[in-house]
Amino acid sequence: MDFPTLLTIFTLACVVGYFVVWGVTPALHTPLMAVTNAISGIVIIAALALTATHGTSETLCNLVPCTAPGKVEGYHTASIWLGSVAVFLCALNIFGGFAITRRMLAMFKPKAK
C-alpha cells in the first residue's frame, strides 16, 4: 500500500477516534485507558508477521544485491529472538489489559432499586 493511502486511513481513523472518545463518559476514563492499552497490544500482529518467517540464507545474495551478505543469517536469528520478546510483551499487554478492564467494569453497578 502506498503512503498516501495509508495517510488517508490514518487521518480518517483520527477523526473517528476523536468523535468516539468524546462520547466516553468521564466516569469510565480509567477503563478507557485500560482498554486502549490492551488494544495497543495490536502491534503483536506486526511482531508475529515478522517473526513467523523462515530464515534467509546467504545464497539469497546471489539473486538480490545484498548490503551485508555476511550478516544475513546472524541478523535474522537475532531478529527472531527479539521478535519473540516483542510477542511476549504484547501478549502480556493484551491478556492483562483485557482482564483488568473486565475486572474494573464489573465493579460499576447501578443503584439497586
User: Where in 13-42 is the site for other proteins (CB under 8 A)?
Assistant: 13-14, 16-18, 20-42
Distance CA 97, CA 78 (A): 28
Measured from the CB of residue 4, what is the shortest distance to other proteins in angstroms? 12
Measured from the CB of residue 63, what is the shortest distance to other proteins in angstroms? 10
Q: How many residues form the binding site for other proteins (CB under 8 A)?
A: 93
Residue 75, C-alpha cell as written in the block = 541478523
- Ranges within 57-86 binding other proteins (CB under 8 A): 60-61, 64-69, 71-72, 75-76, 78-80, 82-86
57 CB-contact burial (10 Å; exposed 0-12 / middle 13-18 / buried 19+): exposed
Cα–Cα nearest to 86, from 51, 39, 55, 112: 51
Measured from the CB of residue 70, what is the shortest distance to other proteins in angstroms? 8
Measured from the CB of residue 97, what is the shortest distance to other proteins in angstroms? 6
Per-position x/- string for 90-109, each x denoting binding to other proteins as judged by CB under 8 A, each - no binding: xxxxxxxxxxxxxxxxxxxx
- DSSP, res 64: S
Q: What is the enclosing helix (H) or strand (E) of 35?
A: helix 29-39
